[in-house]
Amino acid sequence: MRVTQSMMYDAANKSLGNEMAAIQSVTEKVSSSKRLNRPSDNPADVRSAIGLNDTLAQLNQFSRNIDSATRTLSAMDTALSGAGDLLQRANELAIQGANGTLSASDRQSIGAEVSQLTEAMAQAAGAKVGDDYIFSGYKVGQPPYQVVGPGQVGAYTGDHGVTVARIGPASTMQVSLPGDAVFGPAIAALTQLQADLNSGQPVAQTTIAQLSTALQAMTQAQASVGARENRLTAAASSQQDLITSNQSMLSQLEDVDMPSAITELTQRQTTYQASLAITAKVMQSNLIDYLR
């Protein structure tokens, strides 16, 4: 086969072009710290990386859902704890008001404190996270109960909508509690206690029993919230472990071994410079031979 001058030039240009492309590829990896910058770099690994990124996006969303649910439950726990304290105090006052030796004036004085406890109960029910009332169901823009007069609380104005958080691929958890189920018995018992005290007669045993039932409902609600908080804590830990694991696998696919990449870049630059020098020398010699 006869090797022509044109063939030599073409071969030299092709070789130098290949070296430049290789240098550009390695340079891109070093500058981006990623070995997968386009699908052609490694189609199989790129597909795997896309899958891992999708999984991480989903896991991070679950983590955000867990954080949001945790904030809501924490606010619920605080509100229910305060409401329980109010009922405990009301129960003490009810027992005191049941004492037959008290005068009507004494009972009315106790009733004034119960009036304040009733208003405070409505305020506890109006707990918020951000701008949302957490005991109003879906009607998060309005308080579940409003004080309509001294010691008087209006009817429940929320609904029974249930907020559910997705905390895993196949795991959901109810976050909200219906305000009327939690606070309704307490407000009704406090209202009845006020009526008994303001009548000047000893507090009825049925009223004390009503307070006890309301306190039990409040305690059960707080226990339910605590159990959900514990579950969220476990779910958050599990999600973080999964995120860390998937990030590690993604890093193994995408991240460049920087020392190796820099070494390769240096070697390719050296090879390119050597090829350039040899090509220039060969081409120069051929031209001189032609002129002769």
Contact by Cβ (8 Å): 283, 9: yes
Distance of alpha carbon 113 from the chain centroid: 41
Give the mean pLDDT of 172-176: 93
Residue 246: its pLDDT value, please?
A: 87
Give the mean pLDDT of 96-124: 94
Residue 42 has pLDDT above 80, yes or no: no
Instruction: Find the angle CA(50)-CA(55)-CA(59) to the nearest 5 degrees.
Output: 150
25 pLDDT band, cuts 50/70/90, is low
The beta-strand segments (E) located in the chain are 128-129, 132-133, 147-149, 152-153, 164-168, 171-174
Q: How many helices (H) and strands (E) does the chain have?
A: 6, 6
Q: Which of 165, 174, 178 is nearest to 135 (CA)?
A: 178
Most confident segment among 177-181, 264-268, 276-280, 282-286: 177-181
Q: How is the chain split among helix, strand and coil, in percent rounded to 5?
A: 75, 5, 20
Mean predicted lDDT score pLDDT of the chain: 83
Residue 95 has pLDDT above 80, yes or no: yes
Give the mean pLDDT of 60-81: 95
List, for residues 180-223, the tens digit of each pLDDT value: 999 999 999 999 999 999 998 999 999 999 999 999 999 999 99
pTM of the model: 0.74
Residue 47: its pLDDT value, please?
A: 83
Residue 8 has pLDDT above 80, yes or no: no
Residue 283 has pLDDT above 70, yes or no: no
Percent of residues, the chain, with pLDDT higher than 70: 72
| CA distances (Å), origin 41, targets 8, 87, 116, 189, 230 | 30, 68, 72, 72, 45
Contact by Cβ (8 Å): 236, 65: no
* Cα distance between residue 203 and residue 205, in whole Å: 7
